[in-house]
Amino acid sequence: FPYKGDSIQILFVCRDICPILKDPKALAAVTDLFEEHVRRTYPQVDLIVGLDARGFLFGPLLAQRLGVGFAPIRKKGKLPGPTLSVAYSLEYAKAEAEIQEDAVSAGQKVLIVDDLLATGGTLYAACELIKQQKAEVLGCLVVIELKYLNGSEKLQSTPVFSLIQY
């Protein structure tokens, strides 16, 4: 424990998904594993929603494999037309997320895709946006989960599937 006056350094370890993107076999393997999981667990899925920005790298690939549509949730001010928005905080900042009002229809069964789960603030906000549209969140899929930040607890009953855990 530091004494009063000691400087405290907070270590932020950035987990990088770029090596996966650089390797076509690795990217295909990630998509294969997501697809297998969804076909086994959520055959009823209607729509994949991906999170700005790195969720866009994995979500559309999965949606194409499954033959369902893809909708983006973006950071504030990026989407044209009427939007719904929600404020949230993440591991190192505060932000606001938006979705187009007509992106999801009431009653649709949705899976949310992102690269990484840290504190869960971003995925929680995404779930709120989907619920505001009276659609159902079946679960969340991420490539990396930072278990020590307990993000899945924040998501309560919404299941999270992750490929790599730290």
- Confirm whether 91 is a catalytic residue: yes
By CB under 6 A, name the binding residues for ligand ADE.
Answer: 13-15, 90-91, 116, 118, 146
**Residue 13 binding partner per list ligand ADE, ligand PRP, none, with a CB distance cut-off of 5 to 8 Å that depends on partner kind:** ligand ADE
Please identify which residue in the block is written with the tokens 């295909």. 28
38 to 67, contacts with ligand PRP by CB under 6 A?
51-54
Q: How far apart are CA 164 and CA 149, in angstroms?
A: 14
- Confirm whether 15 is a catalytic residue: no
Residue 48, amino acid: I
Catalytic residue among 35, 65, 91, 128: 91
Q: DSSP letters of 31-97?
A: HHHHHHHHHHH-TT--EEEEETTGGGGTHHHHHHHHT-EEEEEEETT-S-SSEEEEEEE-SS-EEEE
- 79 binds ligand PRP per the rule CB under 6 A: no
4 to 43, contacts with ligand PRP by CB under 6 A?
none
List of residues contacting ligand PRP (CB under 6 A): 51-54, 90-91, 114-122, 151
